[in-house]
A and B are shown apart, each in its own frame.
Chain A
Amino acid sequence: GAVVSQHPSWVICKSGTSVKIECRSLDFQATTMFWYRQFPKQSLMLMATSNEGSKATYEQGVEKDKFLINHASLTLSTLTVTSAHPEDSSFYICSAQTLAVSGEQYFGPGTRLTVT
């Protein structure tokens, strides 16, 4: 149990276009999901916290108008990278938190974004 999927697993897009990444909790409900970004040879950096039915909370330095997050249901959160540029090329990873008090988090397999 506790599987989180991401789609697509990799995507290549042209500079200036927008890309949507989906994060789904397959066998549990998650009121909270988290989005991370990871550059090569670096650690995961938290970008934003996504709460079902409300606005996302962004970390300092993350542009909310560029990285649009929608958490429309208890099993789905989406991250849209708008007007993508080559510097947005990265590995994007989501995690979903269970409804249990302990709030275990399970991570998706990641999405590799390359902007040309």
Chain B
Amino acid sequence: DAKTTQPPSMDCAEGRAANLPCNHSTISGNEYVYWYRQIHSQGPQYIIHGLKNNETNEMASLIITEDRKSSTLILPHATLRDTAVYYCIVRVDGNDMRFGAGTRLTVKP
């Protein structure tokens, strides 16, 4: 059973912010929200993760709602190279990663 729900696909204009939503309404208190992306025929690339607070790194920002039932990954200035499948995963530290279907983001010129 899927622990996260994501839209199957999204488009974004190059240079604009890409906002990728994820629902995880059954998340447990000790589960983190992780985001990975996979560019065609490559291994998944770690983007960011968080527990409760919003997080930001050089790649993206992660906004987690106060009830932790949903989150949004923000790519502030999307480029063509950001075209990929983005996976939102909830995970307890130390456990395995279970991938859902993800969101296929297409950045268009």
Number of inter-chain CB pairs below 8 Å:
49
The verdict on B67 contacting chain A, using a C-beta distance below 8 Å, is no
Name the residue of chain B whose CB is nearest to the CB of A34.
B96
Which of B42, B96, B98, B102 has most A Cβ within 10 Å? B96
Q: Of all chain A residues, which has the CB nearest B45?
A: A107
B34 to chain A, nearest CB (A): 9
Q: Which residues of B contact A (CB under 8 A)?
A: 36, 38, 41-46, 87, 93-102
A95 (CB) vs chain B CBs: closest residue? B97
Q: How far is the CA of A95 from the CA of B43 in the complex (A)?
A: 9
Q: Which residues of A contact B (CB under 8 A)?
A: 4, 6, 34, 36, 43-46, 49, 91, 93, 95, 97, 101-110, 112
Q: Are A43 and B101 in contact (CB under 8 A)?
A: yes
Contact assessment for A110 and B42 in the assembled complex, using a CB-CB cutoff below 8 Å: yes
Q: Which of A4, A97, A109 contacts B94 (CB 8 A)?
A: A97
